[in-house]
Structure 1
Amino acid sequence: MIMEHHDKPAWLESLYVQKFFASCPIHDSFKKNEKNICCLDCCNSICPHCVASHRSHRLLQIRRYVYHEVVRLEDLEKLMDCSNIQAYTINAAKVVFIKKRPQNRQFKGSGNYCTSCDRSLQEPFIHCSLGCKVDYVLKHHKNLYPFLKVCKTLQLSPDFFIPQDTGDDDQTMYTTLSSDSDSDNASFSCTELVRKKRSGLYVCGRLANKVTDEDMTTSMSRRKGIPHRSPLC
């Protein structure tokens, strides 16, 4: 079936209808199984454990800001024209809200407001979310495709942690997408998190460093010396 010009592309529709930040039914027995990624090629929400089977697909990480779902502006601009959408800064990255955030207002004063949901905005923005801009374009231009961009590859941010199955129920390892085991200077890109359930100890270090069970046992069993009372005068 050929998609008409006034329709939304399938990946855009999936951002609205997919349920994010819910447990993944495929990996419900794993840790970190929260579905916070949207596969734009499969039009489905996936968890970090699902990334291995979607590595050749366009992946968009979904984040949360003030209890609403957002995406990085840098990623969204690769997919469509994001001009006039107000962006917000979290963790040194600009993000854009996906869905509308209606704001009830009986009377409009002087100021700048969203074209779709009347939310107060900063100058010169006229859309508070991606959904508001899409509705505005479809209403006034009747065609969304001139605002879309050709994007063949879209990968997760380099600091995104991918779970690695170690085969040990007491240990879960997380590696970054930008990890490079051949580089000794990439101290921030070669990062791993090792979690021990029994000891409750969190260790963060370079991939080249090895932490043995003996070292952790020694650090956990270390005790202070016997306290001595001060002499009486």
Structure 2
Amino acid sequence: MGIQKPAWLEALYTNKFFAACSIHETAKKNEKNICCLDCCTSICPHCVPSHRYHRLVQVRRYVYHDVVRLDDLEKLIDCSNVQPYTINSAKVVFIKKRPQNRQFKGSGNYCTSCDRSLQDPFIHCSLGCKVDFVLKHYKDLSPFLRTCNSLQLSPDFFIPQDMGDDGMINETSHSTIVDYDEPMSSSSGSSGSENISMACTEFVRKKRSGLCVCGRSANKGSEDHMATNMSRRKRHSS
């Protein structure tokens, strides 16, 4: 049956973030905005010293949903074809699905799971949508998982040393952001993903002329091919 969802991925899905930490309930800035991938639990900045040798990823809030920096996620799993957004000059990816009823009929890209309208060439609106798509059609996540033995918080994330009320935390650790959707332009991708974006853009151009061809690996090409057929069926059924 292959590899299903790894424990760290389930932890990102199921843990509650931005709640007050029960261990440091009297401390300031005690919201649980970090996921320890080794312990599979959410922690606050005051908990970090106890997890200093573990893989840690910061969770942020964007339009009331949990997001993680694309650079962090791509060390763990292939995020190609997932639409990123830009907040504070950083690219982020939504963790969970964001279902949306399609209000307008017509051509365009729609999420393989949520019917959310997307920019070209993206076909998944969140990491959860891509994972469900892969498991449904391949029953195996292993071709998309990446080996990551070390993952630390960004240098600007200040770890509090003083547990008392006078302890101050750098504002960068305060990560609740409420803003409008601002999809990242596909032309502003990082150097590591530019080739993928270009290949997918070429694929979208060709699929509109009836050619289901993608200059990527067989597994990813099959993913795009099935997503294209699903998108066509959705448009016909509309």
TM-score (normalizing by structure 2) = 0.69
Match of 2:124 among 110, 124, 127: 127
Q: 1:58 to 1:176 in 2, by over 3 A?
A: farther
Whether 2:179 is the aligned partner of 1:173: answer no
Match of 2:155 among 155, 158, 165: 158
Higher strand share: 1
d(CA) in 2 for partners of 1:54, 1:176: 21
Structure 1 outlier segments of 4+, above 2 Å = 105-108, 173-177
AA at the equivalent of 1:174: I
Q: Which has the higher contact order (CA 8 A, sep 6+)?
A: 2
Any gaps of 5 or more consecutive residues in structure 1?
Answer: 178-233
Match of 1:38 among 32, 35, 42: 35
Return the offset for 1:54.
0.2
Match of 1:96 among 82, 93, 97: 93
Match of 2:24 among 23, 27, 35: 27
Calculate percent identity across the aligned residue pairs.
77
d(CA) in 1 for partners of 2:114, 2:87: 23
| 8 Å Cα contact 1:158/1:176 also seen in 2 | no
Question: Number of residue pairs matched?
Answer: 172
Return the offset for 1:142.
1.3
| 8 Å Cα contact 1:33/1:47 also seen in 2 | yes
Q: 1:36 to 1:46 in 2, by over 3 A?
A: same
Which residue matches 1:113? 110
Which residue matches 2:234? none
1:182-218 Cα deviation digits (max 9, x unpaired)? xxxxxxxxxxxxxxxxxxxxxxxxxxxxxxxxxxxxx
- Tell me the SS of whatever aligns to 2:125: coil
Any gaps of 5 or more consecutive residues in structure 2?
Answer: 173-238
1:34-67 Cα deviation digits (max 9, x unpaired)? 0000000000000000000000000010001111
- Tell me the SS of whatever aligns to 1:69: strand
Q: Larger Cα Rg: Structure 1 or Structure 2?
A: 1
Cα RMSD of the aligned pairs, angstroms, is 1.8
Q: Following superposition of structure 1 onto structure 2, how do residues 57-96 of structure 1 map, counting pairs within 5 Å?
A: 57-96=54-93
Return the offset for 1:173.
3.3
